[in-house]
Structure 1
Amino acid sequence: MTQATEPDGPAEPTGTRLMVGVFAAAAIAVTLLTWSKWMPYAAKVPGLAAGHGWTGSSILQVGDVRPGDAPSWSAATSFTAAYAHAVWRALLAALLISAALQTLVPRAWFLRLLNRPGRLRAALAGGLAARPSMMCTCCTAPVAVGLKRRGGSTAAVVAYWLGNPLLNPAVLVFLMLVAPWQWTVTRMVVGTLLVVGGSALVAWLADGRTPPPSPPAVPAGPPPSFGRYLRVLIRMSAILLPEYLVVVMLVGAFRGWLFPLHAGGSGLLVLLVAAVVGTALVIPTAGEIPIAQGLALAGLSLGTVGALLITLPAVSLPGVVMVGRAFGWRVTAATTAVVAVGGVLGAAVLLVLTA
């Protein structure tokens, strides 16, 4: 699918105006990530290191909803309120950073960074670019949409979207502190395979099997502009936030049916349910940890836990809706399918490590 990018404009700006735009974008990103991600995560580590136990309960049980419960308005509103409380800072940061990338940074700069020759190299670049932002799949969606709209390659942008939740350095540290070491290794190994190999595979499936051509010359874009920044921010918020809210409420309302995993569940069917359904549920950053721990203590098989460690954070129904138009539905569907397969691989890896 051909992805529309920004229209050509005057020559790429140089000099003071360019540097002011780049500096402003960098300041926005660093300030917001420090406020919404880096400082809160750093503050959480000492408590986890001292207690070696996760504080807080599973967001899927907010409002006393249990697996198998029928959909309800109460389930929708309680889940949405809890989720919004957990992610509002990161979502705000993502919208502001995405608008900055689309309007304040010259296209040629970050396209040289992301659009590397070859799908694997592009996916590796996208995965590495995701490490500092450490967002959940929904909060990173606006940034990924912005990258795609500015001409980011499929492999790089999908890797950025998946790399934020799957290879989040803070979550890996949290897992090391509160869970068996096999869980962390499973997440790192399968997460890396999905972010790099899976994103390259998605690009191969969606863009065609022929080798990608050399990156074309990047058309010049309009100069950095605070007015354009505000217009892009308002337009993006007006489109993404309402659909995000609606889908999160639907997931919350139907979570009893979407997550039918009970204590003592085992077997191939339960594992496949976890691999598929885990891709639909939406959770905040590190929300998979209390869910996986609670289910493991209740008797869920380790294979199913391994699947959830991959599928719960990687994609979600709200995230899919948010990126669908920018990525193209073929890319979005292929990414979701690859993540579900990755969940099965996560189950196999965890079972091997704990054998």
Structure 2
Amino acid sequence: MSQLNNSLSIPANQSNPKKTVSFAVLFIIIAAAGLWYVKWFPYYNKAILAATTHSIGSSILGDKANLQGVSWSGAWAYAVIYFTAVWKAAILGILLGSLLQVLLPANWLLKVLGKTSFGSTAIAGLAAIPGMMCTCCAAPMAVGLRKKNVSVGASLAFWLGNPTINPATLIFMTFVLSWKFTLLRLIFGIILTFGVSFLANRFAPNVKSADIDKMIEKVEIEVSGSFITRWIKSIGSMILYIVPAYVLSILLMGAIKVWLFPHIGEDAANSLITVIGFAITGMLFVIPTAAEIPIIQTFMSFGLGGGPAAALLITLPSISLPSLIIVARSFPKRVLFFTAGSVVVLGILSGIVGMFIL
């Protein structure tokens, strides 16, 4: 067993570059295999479904009857539906979030993503595109990046980019809703992923290039343990912290969904006050990947206007109360308040545009 631990240990001083590269390649292979199984292949089939039927399924919120009355049975029913949809991606998110802490060299991440420059933010945002995770499933990876001292802007861009500029969701949206929804989502998603994330660096402690160099030097001289030991510690701490808060917050969202999505009368179906209300609601509520599409489709069949629908288009997938709870220890509180506020503001702006073009 000691020989196994020694063979799997990763020297922090990077004295064995071949081993360093091999562990990085291993992470890429695991990530690609997991994403192919959980995301890429299923979404290929779903894209065909969207193109042929102009639907990707029913709304996770159900019909009007499911949005009446607060009960814990309703909370449990929503939690079951939600976790049935996301459990594979949630496991993959926790797995990748823990593995990137032990397989990817810290000095590599610091050099590329440790700076507060727009370049680091842009690279992280672009790296999020193949992930296509929902906000809660991407959150453990953002936590892992922050534990490796990746900058606030880069970590946020990766977290926000997964759900908001998800190419599969954009394809589904075009077939099911319309190209106007897709264009709105893409424009505001880019602003959120790259613009808001970059600006969020201003709400975090300033990290200069000299500080990055010192962190790299510290990493290079620190003695690390074996891969197995560090990975068990990493994934164990993630599970202990993330899973209980995640489950409880999902139950809470399921219980209060009737308050978050009240019945809207015909007069308020496309009003500014409804846009604002739904922007806030969408920021708080939690959904699986692409679930905003059937939700919007169903609500509009009830008579909801284009403005509130466009607000939900941005705010529903971007973040949620559960995902904010998951990353709460990894980002400064000011950064999270700024991010949540920015999501609401962009949702309102999208809703205002949607009032006129949708």
TM normalised by structure 1 equals 0.90
The alpha carbon displacement at 1:57 in A equals: 1.4
CA distance in 2, matches of 1:10, 1:194: 35
Q: Which amino acid aligns with 1:136?
A: C
Q: Tell me how far 1:63 sits from its aligned partner.
A: 10
2:234 alignment partner in structure 1:
232
> Which residue, out of 336, 344, 351, partners 2:348?
344
Alignment of 1:267-306 (within 5 A): 267-306=271-310
Aligned partner letter, 1:199: S
Return the match for 2:333 from 299, 318, 329.
329
SS at match of 1:152: coil
Supply the distance in 1 between the matched residues of 2:292 and 2:129 (Cα, whole angstroms): 18
Cα distance between partner residues in 2 of 1:224 and 1:342: 45
Cα distance in structure 1, aligned partners of 2:225 and 2:310: 47
- In structure 2, the residue matched to 1:4 is none
Aligned to 2:132: 134
Provide, for residues 78-128 of structure 1, a one-character-per-residue CA deviation record: whole Å limited to 9, x for no partner. Answer: 00000000000101111111111001110111222323452x323212211
- The one-letter amino acid of 2:158's match is Y
SS of the equivalent of 2:285 reads coil
Structure 2: which amino acid aligns with 1:11?
Answer: N
Q: Cα distance, 1:183 vs. partner?
A: 0.2
1:172/1:13 CA distance change after superposition, 3 Å:
farther
The secondary structure found in structure 2 opposite 1:96 is helix
Segments of 5+ residues of structure 1 without an aligned counterpart are: 1-8
2:212 alignment counterpart: 216
TM-score normalised according to structure 2 size: 0.89
Deviations 1:309-340 (A, max 9, x none): 00000010100100011112221111111100
Q: Give aligned-pair identity as a percent.
A: 35
Shift of 1:280: 0.5
Separation in 2 of the partners of 1:349 and 1:183?
A: 11
Q: Which amino acid aligns with 2:57?
A: G
Amino acid at match of 1:59: I
For 2:122 and 2:353, the matched residues in 1 are separated by 22
Q: Secondary structure at the match of 1:132?
A: coil
Aligned residue in 1 for 2:190:
192
**How far is 1:344 from its partner?**
1.0
Cα displacement (A) at 1:148: 0.8
The number of residues matched between the two structures is 339
Match of 1:176 in 2: 174
* Alpha carbons 1:306, 1:343 under 8 Å: kept: yes
- Are 2:319 and 1:315 equivalent residues in the alignment? yes
State the secondary structure of the residue aligned to 1:349. helix
CA distance in structure 2 between the aligned counterparts of 1:96 and 1:24, rounded to whole angstroms: 13
Q: 1:147 to 1:24 in 2, by over 3 A?
A: same
CA distance in 1, matches of 2:12, 2:303: 62
- Report the CA distance between 1:180 and its aligned residue: 1.3
Q: Following superposition of structure 1 onto structure 2, how do residues 35-184 of structure 1 map, counting pairs within 5 Å?
A: 35-51=37-53, 53-61=54-62, 64-66=65-67, 69-116=68-115, 118=117, 120-184=118-182
**Shift of residue 224, structure 1, vs aligned partner:** 6.3
Q: Which structure has more helix as a fraction of its residues?
A: 2
How far apart, in 2, do the equivalents of 1:123 and 1:273 lie?
Answer: 30
Question: After alignment, is 220-229 or 315-324 more displaced?
Answer: 220-229
1:197 offset after TM fit, Å?
A: 0.9
Please provide the CA RMSD for this pair: 2.0
For residues 294-318 of structure 1, give each alpha carbon's deviation from its aligned partner in whole angstroms, at most 9, with x where no partner exists: 1122221211111000000001010
Q: CA deviation at 1:212?
A: 5.4
Q: Distance in 1 between matches of 2:142 and 2:129?
A: 13
- Return the alpha-carbon distance in structure 2 between the equivalents of residues 263 and 39 of structure 1: 41
Unaligned runs of 5+ in 2: 1-10
Residue pair 2:283, 2:316 contacting (<8 A) in 1 also: yes
Which structure has the larger Rg?
Answer: 2
Q: For residues 178 and 10 of structure 1, do their structure 2 counterparts lie closer, same or farther at Cα, with a shift above 3 Å needed?
A: closer
> Residue type matched to 1:290 in 2?
P
The letter for the 1-side match of 2:120 is A
2:76 and 2:254 in contact (8 A); partners too: yes
Structure 2: how far apart are the matches of 1:78 and 1:207?
A: 39
Distance in 2 between the 1:203 and 1:71 partners?
Answer: 40
SS in 1 for 2:158: helix
Between the aligned partners of 1:166 and 1:150, the Cα distance in structure 2 is: 24
Shift of 1:347: 1.4
Residues 13 and 238 (structure 1), Cα distance of their counterparts in 2 relative to 1, 3 Å cut: farther
